[in-house]
Structure 1
Protein backbone atom coordinates (compact mmCIF):
# COMPACT_ATOMS: atom_id res chain seq x y z
CA UNK A 1 0.00 0.00 0.00
CA UNK A 2 1.31 3.44 -0.91
CA UNK A 3 2.23 5.81 1.92
CA UNK A 4 -0.41 8.36 0.89
CA UNK A 5 -3.06 5.63 0.79
CA UNK A 6 -2.09 4.56 4.34
CA UNK A 7 -2.34 8.15 5.53
CA UNK A 8 -5.76 8.55 3.90
CA UNK A 9 -6.98 5.43 5.69
CA UNK A 10 -5.69 6.86 8.97
CA UNK A 11 -7.41 10.18 8.32
CA UNK A 12 -10.64 8.39 7.41
CA UNK A 13 -10.43 6.28 10.57
CA UNK A 14 -10.06 9.41 12.66
CA UNK A 15 -13.06 11.00 10.99
CA UNK A 16 -15.10 7.83 11.45
CA UNK A 17 -14.31 7.71 15.17
CA UNK A 18 -17.16 10.22 15.66
CA UNK A 19 -15.20 11.93 18.39
CA UNK A 20 -14.68 8.83 20.55
CA UNK A 21 -11.55 9.83 22.42
CA UNK A 22 -10.52 6.25 23.17
CA UNK A 23 -10.00 5.68 19.42
CA UNK A 24 -7.80 8.71 18.72
CA UNK A 25 -4.36 7.06 19.00
CA UNK A 26 -4.81 4.02 16.76
CA UNK A 27 -4.86 5.76 13.33
CA UNK A 28 -1.17 6.71 13.71
CA UNK A 29 -0.20 3.05 13.49
CA UNK A 30 -1.68 2.86 10.00
CA UNK A 31 0.92 5.05 8.29
CA UNK A 32 3.88 5.47 10.64
CA UNK A 33 6.71 3.00 11.42
CA UNK A 34 5.87 3.01 15.14
CA UNK A 35 4.83 0.33 17.62
CA UNK A 36 2.45 2.34 19.77
CA UNK A 37 0.80 5.72 20.23
CA UNK A 38 -0.99 7.74 22.88
CA UNK A 39 -2.98 10.95 22.99
CA UNK A 40 -2.93 12.97 26.19
CA UNK A 41 -4.12 16.27 27.54
CA UNK A 42 -2.09 18.20 30.09
CA UNK A 43 -1.44 21.71 31.26
CA UNK A 44 -3.71 24.28 32.87
CA UNK A 45 -6.49 24.11 30.26
CA UNK A 46 -7.68 20.49 30.34
CA UNK A 47 -5.62 18.80 33.05
CA UNK A 48 -3.36 15.76 32.73
CA UNK A 49 -4.97 12.63 31.37
CA UNK A 50 -4.19 9.92 28.83
CA UNK A 51 -7.22 10.04 26.56
CA UNK A 52 -6.23 7.21 24.23
CA UNK A 53 -3.42 4.65 24.04
CA UNK A 54 -2.90 1.75 21.69
CA UNK A 55 -1.32 -0.49 24.33
CA UNK A 56 -0.17 -0.63 27.93
CA UNK A 57 3.38 0.50 27.09
CA UNK A 58 2.07 3.60 25.32
CA UNK A 59 0.09 4.34 28.45
CA UNK A 60 3.22 3.78 30.53
CA UNK A 61 5.11 6.36 28.44
CA UNK A 62 2.46 8.94 29.35
CA UNK A 63 2.30 7.89 32.99
CA UNK A 64 6.04 8.31 33.43
CA UNK A 65 6.01 11.78 31.92
CA UNK A 66 3.08 12.89 34.07
CA UNK A 67 4.58 11.45 37.24
CA UNK A 68 8.05 12.89 36.62
CA UNK A 69 6.90 16.21 35.20
CA UNK A 70 9.34 15.92 32.31
CA UNK A 71 9.68 14.19 28.95
CA UNK A 72 9.24 14.76 25.22
CA UNK A 73 5.53 15.60 25.46
CA UNK A 74 6.26 18.51 27.83
CA UNK A 75 9.00 19.80 25.53
CA UNK A 76 6.78 19.47 22.46
CA UNK A 77 3.98 21.52 24.00
CA UNK A 78 6.35 24.13 25.45
CA UNK A 79 8.17 24.64 22.14
CA UNK A 80 5.06 24.05 19.98
CA UNK A 81 7.29 21.84 17.81
CA UNK A 82 7.67 18.08 17.40
CA UNK A 83 10.32 16.34 19.51
CA UNK A 84 11.98 13.59 17.47
CA UNK A 85 14.24 11.10 19.23
CA UNK A 86 15.05 8.44 16.63
CA UNK A 87 17.54 6.48 18.76
CA UNK A 88 17.15 6.72 22.52
CA UNK A 89 20.10 4.42 23.09
CA UNK A 90 22.57 7.00 21.83
CA UNK A 91 21.11 10.17 23.38
CA UNK A 92 22.52 11.73 26.53
CA UNK A 93 22.01 15.49 25.95
CA UNK A 94 18.29 15.61 26.63
CA UNK A 95 16.44 17.85 29.05
CA UNK A 96 14.64 14.97 30.77
CA UNK A 97 17.27 12.76 32.48
CA UNK A 98 14.86 11.10 34.94
CA UNK A 99 12.43 10.13 32.18
CA UNK A 100 15.28 8.89 29.97
CA UNK A 101 16.61 6.73 32.78
CA UNK A 102 13.19 5.14 33.33
CA UNK A 103 12.19 4.76 29.69
CA UNK A 104 15.41 2.91 28.89
CA UNK A 105 14.12 0.11 31.11
CA UNK A 106 11.34 -0.42 28.57
CA UNK A 107 11.61 -2.01 25.08
CA UNK A 108 11.65 1.36 23.32
CA UNK A 109 14.20 2.41 20.72
CA UNK A 110 12.68 5.69 19.49
CA UNK A 111 10.12 8.17 20.75
CA UNK A 112 8.38 11.12 19.14
CA UNK A 113 6.06 13.77 20.56
CA UNK A 114 3.83 16.16 18.62
CA UNK A 115 2.04 19.06 20.33
CA UNK A 116 -1.74 19.35 20.29
CA UNK A 117 -2.67 22.97 19.69
CA UNK A 118 -5.84 24.83 18.80
CA UNK A 119 -5.01 28.39 17.87
CA UNK A 120 -3.38 29.85 21.00
CA UNK A 121 -4.73 27.02 23.18
CA UNK A 122 -2.36 24.32 24.43
CA UNK A 123 -4.26 21.02 24.54
CA UNK A 124 -1.65 18.29 25.07
CA UNK A 125 0.46 16.00 22.91
CA UNK A 126 0.62 12.82 20.86
CA UNK A 127 3.38 10.42 21.90
CA UNK A 128 4.65 7.77 19.50
CA UNK A 129 7.15 5.03 20.26
CA UNK A 130 8.99 2.38 18.27
CA UNK A 131 10.50 -0.79 19.70
CA UNK A 132 13.56 -0.19 17.52
CA UNK A 133 15.39 2.99 16.43
CA UNK A 134 13.59 4.59 13.51
CA UNK A 135 13.19 8.00 11.87
CA UNK A 136 10.14 9.82 10.55
CA UNK A 137 10.41 11.31 7.09
CA UNK A 138 9.47 14.97 6.50
CA UNK A 139 6.27 13.76 4.82
CA UNK A 140 5.37 11.55 7.78
CA UNK A 141 5.97 14.45 10.15
CA UNK A 142 3.73 16.69 8.06
CA UNK A 143 1.01 14.05 7.93
CA UNK A 144 1.21 13.50 11.67
CA UNK A 145 0.79 17.22 12.29
CA UNK A 146 -2.27 17.21 10.02
CA UNK A 147 -3.88 14.55 12.20
CA UNK A 148 -2.93 16.32 15.43
CA UNK A 149 -4.86 19.38 14.24
CA UNK A 150 -7.99 17.24 13.87
CA UNK A 151 -7.42 15.61 17.26
CA UNK A 152 -6.98 18.98 18.98
CA UNK A 153 -10.39 20.04 17.73
CA UNK A 154 -11.98 16.74 18.83
CA UNK A 155 -10.49 16.99 22.33
CA UNK A 156 -11.60 20.57 22.78
CA UNK A 157 -15.16 19.69 21.76
CA UNK A 158 -15.03 16.69 24.08
CA UNK A 159 -13.95 18.83 27.04
CA UNK A 160 -16.65 21.43 26.40
CA UNK A 161 -19.36 18.80 26.01
CA UNK A 162 -18.18 17.01 29.15
CA UNK A 163 -18.75 20.15 31.16
CA UNK A 164 -22.50 19.57 30.70
CA UNK A 165 -22.64 15.77 30.27
CA UNK A 166 -20.51 13.08 31.92
CA UNK A 167 -17.93 12.15 29.32
CA UNK A 168 -16.22 8.98 28.21
CA UNK A 169 -13.89 7.36 30.73
CA UNK A 170 -10.81 5.82 29.19
CA UNK A 171 -8.73 2.83 30.26
CA UNK A 172 -5.87 5.16 31.09
CA UNK A 173 -7.97 7.78 32.89
CA UNK A 174 -6.19 9.86 35.52
CA UNK A 175 -9.34 11.35 36.99
CA UNK A 176 -8.51 9.60 40.24
CA UNK A 177 -5.51 11.92 40.56
CA UNK A 178 -7.74 14.97 40.13
CA UNK A 179 -10.13 13.64 42.79
CA UNK A 180 -7.30 12.75 45.18
CA UNK A 181 -5.75 16.18 44.67
CA UNK A 182 -9.01 17.75 45.82
CA UNK A 183 -9.08 15.55 48.90
CA UNK A 184 -5.48 16.37 49.85
CA UNK A 185 -6.19 20.05 49.23
CA UNK A 186 -9.03 19.87 51.76
CA UNK A 187 -7.02 17.81 54.27
CA UNK A 188 -4.10 20.22 54.29
CA UNK A 189 -5.88 23.48 53.42
CA UNK A 190 -3.36 24.10 50.66
CA UNK A 191 -3.39 24.87 46.94
CA UNK A 192 -4.23 22.40 44.18
CA UNK A 193 -0.69 22.70 42.86
CA UNK A 194 0.84 21.84 46.24
CA UNK A 195 -1.64 19.00 46.82
CA UNK A 196 -0.67 17.47 43.48
CA UNK A 197 3.01 17.86 44.38
CA UNK A 198 2.47 16.09 47.72
CA UNK A 199 0.87 13.09 45.98
CA UNK A 200 3.69 13.04 43.46
CA UNK A 201 6.30 13.14 46.25
CA UNK A 202 4.57 10.27 48.10
CA UNK A 203 4.59 8.22 44.88
CA UNK A 204 8.27 8.96 44.35
CA UNK A 205 9.15 8.02 47.92
CA UNK A 206 7.29 4.71 47.64
CA UNK A 207 8.41 4.03 44.05
CA UNK A 208 4.78 3.71 42.96
CA UNK A 209 2.74 5.31 40.16
CA UNK A 210 0.88 8.47 41.16
CA UNK A 211 -2.35 6.81 40.06
CA UNK A 212 -1.89 4.03 42.64
CA UNK A 213 -1.24 6.52 45.44
CA UNK A 214 -4.23 8.61 44.34
CA UNK A 215 -6.50 5.56 44.50
CA UNK A 216 -5.30 4.90 48.06
CA UNK A 217 -6.08 8.51 49.00
CA UNK A 218 -9.61 8.14 47.59
CA UNK A 219 -10.05 4.83 49.43
CA UNK A 220 -8.82 6.61 52.59
CA UNK A 221 -5.93 4.20 52.98
CA UNK A 222 -3.68 7.27 52.88
CA UNK A 223 -4.51 10.49 54.67
CA UNK A 224 -2.29 13.54 54.99
CA UNK A 225 -2.32 15.61 58.18
CA UNK A 226 -1.06 19.17 58.65
CA UNK A 227 2.23 19.58 60.46
CA UNK A 228 1.77 20.44 64.10
CA UNK A 229 2.64 23.91 65.22
CA UNK A 230 5.72 24.21 67.51
CA UNK A 231 4.76 23.01 71.00
CA UNK A 232 1.57 21.35 69.75
CA UNK A 233 0.97 17.68 70.59
CA UNK A 234 0.49 15.26 67.65
CA UNK A 235 -1.37 11.97 67.68
Structure 2
Protein backbone atom coordinates (compact mmCIF):
# COMPACT_ATOMS: atom_id res chain seq x y z
CA UNK A 1 0.00 0.00 0.00
CA UNK A 2 1.36 3.39 -0.97
CA UNK A 3 -1.36 5.40 0.73
CA UNK A 4 -4.87 5.57 2.15
CA UNK A 5 -7.38 8.38 2.53
CA UNK A 6 -8.26 7.49 6.12
CA UNK A 7 -7.96 4.84 8.83
CA UNK A 8 -10.81 2.74 7.42
CA UNK A 9 -9.21 2.73 3.96
CA UNK A 10 -5.89 1.65 5.47
CA UNK A 11 -7.63 -1.10 7.45
CA UNK A 12 -9.41 -2.35 4.30
CA UNK A 13 -6.05 -2.69 2.56
CA UNK A 14 -4.47 -4.40 5.57
CA UNK A 15 -7.36 -6.87 5.74
CA UNK A 16 -6.97 -7.78 2.07
CA UNK A 17 -3.23 -8.28 2.53
CA UNK A 18 -3.67 -10.32 5.71
CA UNK A 19 -6.41 -12.51 4.26
CA UNK A 20 -5.22 -12.74 0.67
CA UNK A 21 -8.74 -12.06 -0.56
CA UNK A 22 -11.04 -9.18 -1.39
CA UNK A 23 -12.00 -6.92 -4.27
CA UNK A 24 -8.49 -5.43 -4.55
CA UNK A 25 -6.89 -8.86 -4.85
CA UNK A 26 -9.47 -9.91 -7.44
CA UNK A 27 -9.12 -6.68 -9.45
CA UNK A 28 -5.36 -7.12 -9.64
CA UNK A 29 -5.40 -10.83 -10.51
CA UNK A 30 -8.29 -10.51 -13.00
CA UNK A 31 -7.00 -7.20 -14.46
CA UNK A 32 -10.48 -5.71 -14.45
CA UNK A 33 -12.54 -3.50 -12.15
CA UNK A 34 -14.44 -5.16 -9.33
CA UNK A 35 -17.52 -3.18 -8.37
CA UNK A 36 -19.28 -4.37 -5.22
CA UNK A 37 -22.29 -2.17 -4.66
CA UNK A 38 -23.49 -4.13 -1.62
CA UNK A 39 -20.87 -5.91 0.44
CA UNK A 40 -23.63 -7.71 2.31
CA UNK A 41 -25.05 -9.37 -0.82
CA UNK A 42 -24.74 -13.15 -1.15
CA UNK A 43 -22.28 -13.16 -4.09
CA UNK A 44 -19.44 -11.12 -2.50
CA UNK A 45 -19.89 -13.02 0.77
CA UNK A 46 -19.31 -16.26 -1.11
CA UNK A 47 -16.32 -14.93 -3.04
CA UNK A 48 -14.48 -13.30 -0.12
CA UNK A 49 -16.12 -14.65 3.04
CA UNK A 50 -13.51 -13.61 5.60
CA UNK A 51 -12.88 -10.20 4.06
CA UNK A 52 -16.58 -9.45 3.66
CA UNK A 53 -17.36 -10.05 7.33
CA UNK A 54 -14.39 -8.01 8.51
CA UNK A 55 -15.10 -5.10 6.13
CA UNK A 56 -18.76 -4.99 7.17
CA UNK A 57 -17.64 -4.85 10.81
CA UNK A 58 -15.68 -1.70 9.85
CA UNK A 59 -18.89 -0.16 8.49
CA UNK A 60 -18.09 -0.64 4.79
CA UNK A 61 -21.20 -1.01 2.64
CA UNK A 62 -19.72 -0.83 -0.88
CA UNK A 63 -16.25 -1.21 -2.34
CA UNK A 64 -14.94 -0.50 -5.83
CA UNK A 65 -11.50 -1.68 -6.97
CA UNK A 66 -9.83 -0.46 -10.17
CA UNK A 67 -6.63 -2.05 -11.48
CA UNK A 68 -3.85 0.40 -12.25
CA UNK A 69 -2.39 -0.94 -15.45
CA UNK A 70 -0.91 -0.11 -18.82
CA UNK A 71 -1.98 -2.72 -21.32
CA UNK A 72 -1.61 -6.04 -19.52
CA UNK A 73 1.00 -4.77 -17.06
CA UNK A 74 -0.51 -4.09 -13.65
CA UNK A 75 1.18 -1.85 -11.11
CA UNK A 76 -1.47 -1.84 -8.39
CA UNK A 77 -5.10 -1.22 -7.56
CA UNK A 78 -7.08 1.84 -6.53
CA UNK A 79 -9.74 0.95 -3.95
CA UNK A 80 -12.67 3.21 -3.12
CA UNK A 81 -15.22 2.47 -0.40
CA UNK A 82 -18.28 3.97 1.16
CA UNK A 83 -20.38 3.22 4.22
CA UNK A 84 -23.72 2.79 2.48
CA UNK A 85 -24.45 0.14 -0.14
CA UNK A 86 -25.22 1.42 -3.61
CA UNK A 87 -24.09 1.28 -7.20
CA UNK A 88 -21.23 3.40 -8.45
CA UNK A 89 -22.90 6.08 -10.52
CA UNK A 90 -19.77 7.58 -12.07
CA UNK A 91 -17.95 4.49 -13.32
CA UNK A 92 -16.48 6.23 -16.39
CA UNK A 93 -15.12 9.01 -14.19
CA UNK A 94 -13.67 6.48 -11.73
CA UNK A 95 -11.91 4.69 -14.60
CA UNK A 96 -10.49 8.03 -15.74
CA UNK A 97 -9.20 8.68 -12.22
CA UNK A 98 -7.60 5.21 -12.14
CA UNK A 99 -5.88 5.97 -15.47
CA UNK A 100 -4.67 9.33 -14.12
CA UNK A 101 -3.30 7.68 -10.97
CA UNK A 102 -1.55 5.08 -13.11
CA UNK A 103 0.11 7.77 -15.22
CA UNK A 104 1.07 9.79 -12.15
CA UNK A 105 2.70 6.74 -10.55
CA UNK A 106 4.54 5.87 -13.77
CA UNK A 107 5.77 9.47 -14.06
CA UNK A 108 6.89 9.39 -10.44
CA UNK A 109 8.71 6.12 -11.13
CA UNK A 110 10.44 7.71 -14.12
CA UNK A 111 11.59 10.61 -11.92
CA UNK A 112 12.94 8.18 -9.33
CA UNK A 113 15.11 6.47 -11.92
CA UNK A 114 16.65 9.70 -13.22
CA UNK A 115 19.51 11.42 -11.47
CA UNK A 116 18.27 13.90 -8.93
CA UNK A 117 14.76 12.42 -8.72
CA UNK A 118 12.67 12.85 -5.57
CA UNK A 119 12.94 10.63 -2.53
CA UNK A 120 15.74 8.29 -1.52
CA UNK A 121 16.04 6.56 -4.90
CA UNK A 122 13.63 3.76 -4.03
CA UNK A 123 11.26 2.75 -6.79
CA UNK A 124 7.53 2.17 -6.36
CA UNK A 125 8.02 -1.55 -5.87
CA UNK A 126 10.54 -0.86 -3.10
CA UNK A 127 8.20 1.60 -1.40
CA UNK A 128 5.31 -0.86 -1.52
CA UNK A 129 7.46 -3.85 -0.55
CA UNK A 130 8.81 -2.04 2.51
CA UNK A 131 5.31 -1.95 4.01
CA UNK A 132 5.32 -5.74 4.32
CA UNK A 133 9.00 -6.64 4.03
CA UNK A 134 8.94 -8.79 7.17
CA UNK A 135 6.10 -10.87 5.68
CA UNK A 136 8.14 -11.54 2.56
CA UNK A 137 11.19 -12.40 4.67
CA UNK A 138 9.23 -14.75 6.96
CA UNK A 139 7.60 -16.40 3.95
CA UNK A 140 10.99 -17.15 2.45
CA UNK A 141 12.43 -18.31 5.76
CA UNK A 142 9.48 -20.65 6.40
CA UNK A 143 9.63 -22.02 2.85
CA UNK A 144 13.33 -22.80 3.16
CA UNK A 145 13.13 -24.27 6.67
CA UNK A 146 10.07 -26.42 6.04
CA UNK A 147 10.95 -27.24 2.42
CA UNK A 148 7.59 -25.99 1.14
CA UNK A 149 6.77 -23.52 -1.62
CA UNK A 150 6.32 -19.85 -0.81
CA UNK A 151 2.56 -20.01 -1.49
CA UNK A 152 2.13 -22.57 1.28
CA UNK A 153 4.45 -20.62 3.59
CA UNK A 154 2.41 -17.44 3.12
CA UNK A 155 -0.80 -19.43 3.65
CA UNK A 156 0.60 -20.67 6.98
CA UNK A 157 1.37 -17.11 8.06
CA UNK A 158 -2.07 -15.90 7.03
CA UNK A 159 -3.83 -18.90 8.57
CA UNK A 160 -2.09 -18.46 11.91
CA UNK A 161 -2.82 -14.72 11.88
CA UNK A 162 -6.49 -15.35 11.11
CA UNK A 163 -6.91 -18.07 13.77
CA UNK A 164 -5.34 -15.84 16.41
CA UNK A 165 -6.94 -12.53 15.27
CA UNK A 166 -3.57 -10.94 14.54
CA UNK A 167 -2.11 -9.03 11.63
CA UNK A 168 0.06 -11.13 9.36
CA UNK A 169 2.89 -8.58 9.80
CA UNK A 170 2.90 -9.25 13.56
CA UNK A 171 3.02 -13.01 13.04
CA UNK A 172 5.86 -12.61 10.55
CA UNK A 173 7.80 -10.48 13.05
CA UNK A 174 7.42 -13.24 15.65
CA UNK A 175 8.59 -15.87 13.16
CA UNK A 176 11.65 -13.83 12.20
CA UNK A 177 12.50 -13.12 15.86
CA UNK A 178 12.26 -16.82 16.72
CA UNK A 179 9.28 -16.32 19.04
CA UNK A 180 6.95 -18.42 16.87
CA UNK A 181 7.48 -21.71 15.05
CA UNK A 182 4.97 -22.49 12.33
CA UNK A 183 6.35 -25.95 11.59
CA UNK A 184 4.30 -29.13 11.44
CA UNK A 185 3.90 -29.20 15.23
CA UNK A 186 1.83 -25.98 15.05
CA UNK A 187 -0.84 -27.51 12.80
TM class by shorter chain equals 0.7 to 0.9
SS in 2 for 1:52: coil
Q: 1:92 aligns with which of 15, 35, 42?
A: 42
Shift, 1:112, TM fit: 0.7
SS in 2 for 1:127: strand
SS in 1 for 2:2: strand
Residue 73 of structure 1: aligned partner: 24
Gaps of 5+ in 2: 115-120
CA distance in 1, matches of 2:34, 2:19: 18
SS in 1 for 2:43: coil
Residue 56 of structure 2: aligned partner: 104
Shift, 1:169, TM fit: 4.9
Aligned residues of 2:175 and 2:181 also touching (Cα < 8 A): yes
Shift, 1:75, TM fit: 2.3
Shift, 1:128, TM fit: 0.9
Q: Which has the higher helix share?
A: 2
Are 1:146 and 2:69 matched, yes or no?
Answer: no
Aligned residues of 1:118 and 1:153 also touching (Cα < 8 A): no
Work out the number of aligned pairs and report it: 174
CA distance in 1, matches of 2:151, 2:170: 19
Shift, 1:158, TM fit: 8.7
* Runs of 4+ off more than 3 Å: 154-161, 165-170, 224-227
Residue 17 of structure 1: aligned partner: none
Gaps of 5+ in 1: 1-49, 228-235
Instruction: Give the structure-2-normalised TM-score.
Output: 0.76
Aligned residues of 1:110 and 1:133 also touching (Cα < 8 A): yes
Q: 1:216 aligns with which of 174, 179, 184?
A: 174
Give a deviation string over 1:35-59, Cα, whole Å, max 9, x none: xxxxxxxxxxxxxxx1222222212
Please show how residues 1-235 of structure 1 align to structure 2 within 5 Å.
50-89=1-40, 91-94=41-44, 95-134=47-86, 135-151=88-104, 153-154=106-107, 166=122, 169=127, 173-225=131-183
CA distance in 1, matches of 2:113, 2:151: 23
CA shift in 2, pair 1:191/1:156, >3 Å: farther
Aligned residues of 1:111 and 1:128 also touching (Cα < 8 A): yes
CA distance in 1, matches of 2:136, 2:65: 24
Shift, 1:61, TM fit: 0.8
Instruction: Give the structure-1-normalised TM-score.
Output: 0.63
**How large is the Cα RMSD of the aligned pairs?**
3.0
